[in-house]
Amino acid sequence: MTRVELYQQILKKQSYLCVGLDTDINRIPKHLLTLEDPIFEFNKQIIDATRDLCVAYKPNTAFYESLGAKGWTALEKTIEYIGEEHLVIADAKRGDIGNTSKMYARAFFEQMNAGALTVAPYMGVDSVQPFLEFENKWVVLLGLTSNKGSQDFQFDTVNGEMPLYEKVLRTAQTWGTLDNLMFVVGATHPGKFQEIRKIAPDHFLLVPGVGAQGGDLKKLSKYGLNDHCGLLVNSSRGIIYASDGEDFAEQARAKAKILQEQMAEML
């Protein structure tokens, strides 16, 4: 999906919502467990209930990898079922030496047909560049993450000049373009969005941490939105686990609808 196509979907749906498919076999409704592929069936019903309210889905690959081959099969089926109208972000946080990154890129962009992939920047440009070589595919680079441990390194000052996360944001902009590079910026750091928009004014930001992690949609949107929206706000557990009963898809839709309506007001 191109940047223009993504923005068109945002305007059409009045939404910049990304639904995270962190599908845990131990948390899905028990009535699905008797089915041949309960993970895919859960995802399918969540997608059917929310596809008009969001512009992206983000399956976290760890939840699928943990189930071995059948988990990968469920992930492949899920990505195929989502289709071309939504950006599919494979949340795998890959990144390694160049030839290994190339294989990761082929796995997710060619074999899995994901539209975007989360990538760790720690090993530098040669570990990220192979992911940027695929047309109409996105690298979503970890910038300032939402987890508590982000305090351990990401705020450390580099050469007494700037925090590490700022160094990542500034340097990585020379690697990719507005059309193939996004940054992860956690919703749990709402006070940083104004500053980050000065550093990367035009790039899309993938924002996890709204919902279960307590991020404030209105605060981050106030400073994070730009002239072409520029935000994809992810909610995972807060949507997909709204209910553990047979009404789980209906309740997921209700949670997604609340976020979509708030986003429509802010666009």
Mind telling me the catalytic residues?
A: 93
**Other Cβ atoms within 10 Å of 89 Cβ, number:** 26
* Paired residues of 232 in beta bridges: 206
Which residues fall within 8 angstroms of residue 110, CB to CB, at 6 or more apart? none
- For residue 75, CA distances in Å to 9, 64, 66, 122, 152 come to 23, 6, 12, 27, 32
Nearest to 114 by CA among 141, 94, 86: 86
Measured in degrees and rounded to the nearest 5, phi and psi for residue 153 equal -130, -35
Give residue for tokens 């429509």: 264
Tell me the C-alpha distance between 183 and 264, whole Å.
Answer: 23
Measured in degrees and rounded to the nearest 5, phi and psi for residue 53 equal -110, -10
Buried b (16+ CB within 10 A) or exposed e, 168-185: bbeebbebbeeebbbbbb
Which residues fall within 8 angstroms of residue 203, CB to CB, at 6 or more apart? 173, 178, 181, 182, 183, 230
